[in-house]
Amino acid sequence: MPRRAPLAVSKLGIRLPQHPSASASPKLEHVPEATSSFRQRPSSEREARIKRELEEPRLSPSPYDIAWVAMVPLRGFPQAPCFPQCVEWILQNQEDNGSWGISELDLSTSKCTLLSTLACVIALKKWNVGPQHIERGLHFIGTNFSIVMDEHITAPIGFNITFTGMISLAIGMGLEFPGRQTDVDAVLHIRELELNRYDVDKSCGRESYMAYVAEGLGNLLDWNEVTKFQRKNGSLFNSPSTTAAALIYSYDDKAQQYLNLLVSKFGSAVPTVFPINIYCQLSMVDSLEKIGISRHFSSEIMSILDRIYSLWLHRDDEIMLDIKTCAMAFRILRMNGYDVSADELSHMSEASTFHNSLQGYSDDTESLLELYKASRVSVSKDEIILENIEYWAGNLLAEKLCPDVLHRVPLLVDYAIQLPFYATMERLHHRRNIEHFDVTDYQLLKTSYSPCSVKKDHLALATEDFTFSQGIYLNELLDIESWVKENRLDQLKFARQIQTYGSLTASACIFAPELSDARILWAKNCVLVTISDDFFDVGGSKEELENLVALVEMWDEHHELQFYSERIKILFCAIYATVNQIGEMASIVQNRDVREHLIEQWIHTLRCMMTEAEWGRTKYVPTTDEYIANAHVSYGLAPIVPPSLYFVGEELLESAEKDQEYNELFRLLSTCGRLLNDLQGLERESIQGKLNSVSLLVLHSGGSMSVEAAKKEVEDYIASCRTELIRLVLREGTAVPRPCKELYLRMYQVNHLFYSNTDGFSSPTEMLGEVNAVIYEPLKLQTNNPL
C-alpha cells in the first residue's frame, strides 16, 4: 500500500445556509471550529418547572380519598374526626356548582366527580357540619344522576360498587337525593346485580378487587380477610380510601400509622394513591423520551434512574407490587443501560396470573400495555419469561382492537403492537407523540389523577424543540443539495438521487440540533455510497470498477493513475475531497489522526462491492455464508455510520475501534440491513438474474426449501441479530461509548422502516411522507392542546 501524505490539520466549519423562504427559521452562526457551533438557548422557566416536577412530583389532592380519611373517627372518641383538617378541606374546597372535583382535570360532569361529591357529602353528614354544603352537593348529584347509568361515560375502577355502596350508606344516614326515586332504585339494583356476580366468582382476582373497593362494601366484608392485602407501609393497596375504610370498620395500628404519615406529608390534601413517586417519575421520564426532549434533563433523569435501580435491586414494594410500575421500571431501566433481570417479571409470565391480579380483574389496559412493551425489550433468545408475556399480552391487546371495542382503547395500543421501539424512526416517533400529546389526559384508579402537573410545559418545550430542529434540518438539506451540484454528482445519470433520504436518515439517527456536523457528513456519505452502489450494480463497466477501486486504494498517490472515464473522475474526486474534509474535522475533534481509518472503510466497502460484481459477471454462486460475509460490507454502512461516531460529543479511543464490540456492532447492523433489503428486493433481483440470501437458501437446499420457508429463515436470523445488537447497545461499561452505540440501533430502526413493506430506499416517492414529517411540515397539534 502506498504511503499516504501526512495529515494537514486545519479548523473547518460546515456552512448551514439560511433558506430564503424560511426567515423565521433559526440561524446557525458559522464559527471556525471542528464542529459547527450551536448557540444554546438559556434555561427557561418552563425547563425549571419540569426539573422541579421530576425531582419531586406534585400529587393532586383527591376529594374522594380526602373524604374517606375525614370519616375516620378518633380512637376512643367516635364522635370526633381523627383528621379534622380533612373535614375542613372539604368545607373550603366545594366548587360553585356544588361538586368536589380536581379542577385542573376539568371533569365536572364525570363519574369521578359524582363519586367524590357523594363521599364529601357523607363525610360532612357524619360529623354534622356544613349543612349548606351538603344541600348543594346533593343537588349536584341529583341534577347529574343520569351520568351514573350512562355506559358511554368512562367509570373509575369499582364504580358500581363504591358509588352504589355510598348511596346505600347515605340513605341509611337519612340523606335524600333530589330527583326520581326510580333512578335511585335502579342504581341500587345495579349494586345487587354486581354483588351477585361477584358471589359466583371465587377467583383470586375477584378477592383482591373486592378488597380494593372495600369502602363500597362496608359490613358485607370480613375485614380480617381484607387485612391480608396490607402492605409493609400499613396501607391497603397504597390507597388512602381503602385504608381509611379499614380503620373505620376494624382498627389497625399500622393502618393508622400510614394515614398519620400521609396527613403529615400532604396536610389535608390527600392524593388518591401513595406512595406513587416512582411511577410518576418513570411516567415523566417516559414522556420526555417519547417526545424527544429528555436530553435537556439528562442529569436529573440519571439521578432518578440511579435511585430507582437501587430500589429495584432491593425489590422495593412500591415497584414490585404494582404491575404497571414494575413493567415500566424494567423497560426504562433496561433501555437506559441498567442491568435488570426479566426474572422480576416471572410472576406475570402466564396470562392466568395477570387475570388473577387486581389489574387483570379490573381490565386495566394500561398495565397490560406496559407489560407488553416491557416484553419487547429482550436482549437474549433465552429470556423465555419475556417471550411468554409478549405472546399472551399481545393476544389480549389484539382482542381490544376488534372493531366493536376499538373506541374504548387508546390509539397507543395499536401503535405499540404494530411498531415496537426497534421498528420506527426515532424522530417520526417524537413527532407522532407530540401531535397526539394530550395535556388533559389523566389516569383512572378509583378516581382520576394526573401523574404529572406540567404536561403543558412538556408539550410546549417539545414543540419548540422540534420546530427549531426542522429549521436546522432544512438548512442542512440545502447544503447537501449545493454540495451535490458543486461536485457534479447530479451529472451521474445512472445513480439514484437520494439527498432527501440521506438527510432524512441523518435527522432520524442524530436528531439533536447541535449535532449538525454529524448529520451533514452522514448524509454526504449516504449519497456517495448510494452512487457507488449504483455504479457497481448497473452503471459501470468492468474497467471502470477496477479503476475506481485502484484509485481509492492509492488515495493520495492516485495521480499516478489515470481516470478511465469522466464518471470515474467525478465520483472519485467527490469521495476523496469529502473523506479528507471529514478526516481533518474528526481528527481535530478526537485529537488523533483518524483519516486512515476512514479511508480503510471505503476501501473495504468498494472491494466487497467489486466482489459482488464479479460474482454476477462470472455467474459464481457463493455459499450462504460467503454471501453474508461479503454482502454485509457491500451494503455500504461502513462509510456512513462509523465516521459519524466521531461527532456525537464522545471521545472514541483507537483501542475502541480495535475492540471486538466495535466490529460486532457494525456486523450485526449491516447484516440486518442487508437481509431486510434482500427480503424486499427478492422479486426485482430474481427478474434481473441476481442472487441474494433468500434465493441462495432455496438454491442450496436442492429444492427442499420453499421461498416462503427461506424468507422465514432469513426473518428469524434478522431477529436474532437484532436482539444481539440491542444487547450490545444497552450494555454499559464497554469500549464503545453509549451515545456512539445508539447510532447503530437508530440506523437499524431506519432500515426496518425503509424495508418494512417495500424497498423504500430505491423508490423516489415511497418515503416522501417521512421526509415531509421530519424536515418540512409544521407540527399539527391536537385542537385541545392550545399553546
Q: What is the pLDDT of residues 134-193, one digit of tens each?
A: 999 999 999 999 899 888 888 999 999 999 999 999 999 999 888 788 888 888 888 888
Q: Please give the average per-residue pLDDT across 280-303, as a whole number.
A: 96
pLDDT tens column, 539-556: 899 999 999 999 999 999
pLDDT tens column, 623-637: 999 999 999 999 999
601 burial type by CB count under 10 A (0-12 exposed, 13-18 middle, 19+ buried): buried
Residue written as cell 437481509? 675
Q: Please say if the pLDDT value at position 731 is more than 80.
A: yes
Looking at residue 638, its pLDDT comes to 97
Q: Please give the average per-residue pLDDT across 676-695, as a whole number.
A: 89
Looking at residue 31, its pLDDT comes to 29
Res. 410 pLDDT band, cuts 50 70 90? low
Closest residue by Cα to residue 710 from 721, 722, 701? 701
Q: Please give the average per-residue pLDDT across 395-405, as a whole number.
A: 76
Q: Please give the average per-residue pLDDT across 355-360, as a whole number.
A: 92
What percent of the chain stands above pLDDT 90? 75
Instruction: Report the 10 Å Cβ neighbour count for 247.
Output: 23
Closest residue by Cα to residue 582 from 641, 669, 656, 532? 641
Q: Which of 142-151, 279-288, 493-502 has the highest mean pLDDT?
A: 279-288
CA angle, 556 then 561 then 564, to 5°: 125
Cβ 424 vs Cβ 753: under 8 Å: yes
**What's the rounded Cα separation, in Å, for the pair 463 and 182?**
51
* Per-chain mean pLDDT for the chain: 89
Looking at residue 28, its pLDDT comes to 27
Q: Residue 546: CB partners within 8 Å, gap ≥ 6?
A: 610
**What's the rounded Cα separation, in Å, for the pair 341 and 339?**
7
Res. 18 pLDDT band, cuts 50 70 90? very low
Looking at residue 177, its pLDDT comes to 83
Looking at residue 403, its pLDDT comes to 58
**What's the rounded Cα separation, in Å, for the pair 27 and 38?**
10
**What's the rounded Cα separation, in Å, for the pair 101 and 93?**
9
Closest residue by Cα to residue 51 from 241, 240, 284? 284
pLDDT tens column, 510-524: 999 999 999 999 999
Res. 109 pLDDT band, cuts 50 70 90? low
Q: Please say if the pLDDT value at position 645 is more than 50.
A: yes
Helices (H), 221-341: 223-226, 240-249, 253-266, 277-290, 298-313, 317-320, 323-335
Res. 404 pLDDT band, cuts 50 70 90? low
Looking at residue 655, its pLDDT comes to 96
Q: Please give the average per-residue pLDDT across 272-291, as a whole number.
A: 96
CA distances from 181 to 117, 124, 163, 207, 376 (A): 19, 23, 16, 32, 52
DSSP H or E run through 603: helix 595-618
Q: Please give the average per-residue pLDDT across 239-251, as a whole number.
A: 95
pLDDT tens column, 547-593: 999 999 999 999 999 999 999 999 999 999 999 999 999 999 999 99
DSSP H or E run through 444: strand 443-444
Lowest-pLDDT range of 113-122, 196-205, 529-538: 196-205
Looking at residue 632, its pLDDT comes to 97
CA angle, 658 then 629 then 679, to 5°: 125
**DSSP one-letter string for 491-535:** G-TTS---HHHHHHHHHHHS--TT-HHHHHHHHHHHHHHHHHHHI
pLDDT tens column, 751-765: 999 998 888 788 878
Residue written as cell 447492523? 669
Ramachandran quadrant class, 355 (left: phi over 0; alpha: psi -120 to 50; beta: rest): alpha
Looking at residue 727, its pLDDT comes to 96
Q: Please say if the pLDDT value at position 41 is more than 70.
A: no
